[in-house]
Amino acid sequence: MNQRTRPAGDIHYTGMPLQRAANERKQPRWLAAQRRRDDLQVLPLWRGRNLLDARPTALSARGDAARALLDAAGGEALLGLRDGAPVYAADLSALDEIQVQELVASQLGGAGQFTDLRRVGPLLASAEAALLAYARGILYWHAEHRHCGRCGAPAHSRHGGHLRLCSDPACAKQTFPRTDPAVIMLIELVEPGRPPRCLLGRQAAWAPGQYSTLAGFVDPGESLEEAVAREVFEEAGVRVESVSYQGSQPWPFPSSIMLGFHGVSGDARISVDRDEIEDAQWFSAAEVRTFGEWGDGGDYCLPRRDSISRWLIERWLQRVEAGDCDAAGYCAVQK
């Protein structure tokens, strides 16, 4: 596990090393030409898992081997151009385990394993993790949108895998890839004469001791700020007075974007909704510094290093410990 402290501003799964070619991919002739290129690159996926070697590093095929993977794939998407060369994701999920291993062995030499990106994401460079997450996310979207959502007819991939078009000409509904917005928030308790504390909670299903900032999906008809206040009140009974945006993280596990916020409360009372979470507590910076690493199994553990929850907490700790607070003790707002 990478133990370095990630500086604020560096959110994992960001830094995509691709140009997405959003205009070019609408042209069938241009797309056909990309598939014929010698520098064509294909990232294979199987049942939601990316192909990685033991280091771990992403494995991909090029040229004729890449075309062989695309020919065997039940779905594909052009992710974009990397240094001018086309990069595709190929969905090999229709093959059984032996068939996919044989295909990978014949085209790639067989050193890799299909691996859940959520297990190894923190070990990868952010840009590489971003690319693999994108590949996984867009193939998941295809797998979940095989039929038109309006009339139920089969829907077919277009625009290099960035549109599905209903096959019934009378309907012809176009469906574009969707990302579900979720808010995630570090709520800071500001009380006169006391050091600031942050609100962390845990769900019963999590590994023992794991704590995180609170989070939840945005409802239809709701602003992001309203979603932050609602979720914090629903889960922990805490009233949030002000909310400010901090940063975002693609989280295609399977299809979210995490929108990170900082909120302030002046009331320490907590009332946990046990249907939503198991526990929520206020923790000072000094207390959070005693937490173990995710997966270590101690009484209190920080969230995983590749999560925006961890980024929000690290950022808050840095500001509190630097004394970067205003007269009211408000520490983590961007200035």
Cβ atoms of 34 and 86 closer than 8 Å: yes
Is 166 a binding residue for Zn ion by CB under 5 A? The answer is yes
Stretch that binds Zn ion, among 120-128, 133-141, 161-169, 224-232 (CB under 5 A): 161-169
- By the rule CB under 5 A, 178 interacts with Zn ion: no
Positions in 121-150 near Zn ion (CB under 5 A):
148, 150
As measured in angstroms, the least distance from the Cβ of 6 to Zn ion is 45
Residue 163 makes contact with Zn ion by CB under 5 A: no
Provide the minimum distance between the beta carbon of 138 and Zn ion in the complex, in angstroms, as a whole number: 21
Task: Tell me the closest approach of the beta carbon of residue 93 to Zn ion, in angstroms.
Answer: 24
Q: Are 51 and 112 in contact (CB under 8 A)?
A: yes
Q: How far is the CB of 87 from Zn ion (least distance, A)?
A: 30
Q: Which two tokens stand for residue 104?
A: 């990978």
Work out how close the CB of 302 gets to Zn ion at its nearest, in angstroms, rounded to a whole number.
46
Ramachandran category for residue 217: left, alpha or beta (phi over 0 → left; psi -120 to 50 → alpha)? beta
Residue 243 β-bridge partners = 263
Residue 72 or residue 163: which is nearer to Zn ion going by CB?
163
Beta carbon nearer to Zn ion, 149 or 254: 149
151 is a site residue for Zn ion (CB under 5 A): yes
Omega of the bond prior to 56 within 30 degrees of 0, cis?
A: yes
Residue 68, φ and ψ in degrees, nearest 5: -65, -40
**Phi, psi dihedrals of residue 58, rounded to the nearest 5°:** -65, 140
Q: Which is nearer to Zn ion, 18 or 153 (CB)?
A: 153
153 near 166, Cβ under 8 Å?
yes
The DSSP call for residue 147 is: B
- Segment interacting with Zn ion, rule: CB under 5 A, options 28-36, 82-90, 110-118, 153-161: 153-161
Name the 3-class secondary structure at 118. helix
- Joined together, the tokens standing for residue 31 give 């797309």
Residue 82 interacts with Zn ion (CB under 5 A): yes or no:
no
Any contact of residue 47 with Zn ion (CB under 5 A)? no
Q: How far is the CB of 159 from Zn ion (least distance, A)?
A: 17
What are the residues whose beta carbons fall under 8 Å from the beta carbon of 133, sequence distance 6 or more?
13, 117, 121, 250, 251, 252, 253
Is 171 a residue that touches Zn ion (CB under 5 A)?
yes
Span of 102-110, 114-122, 151-159, 281-289 interacting with Zn ion by CB under 5 A: 151-159
CB of 151 to Zn ion, least distance (A): 3
Give the closest residue to 316 by CA, choosing from 284, 276, 290, 272. Answer: 284
Which residues lie near Zn ion (CB under 5 A)? 148, 150-151, 153, 166, 168, 171, 173
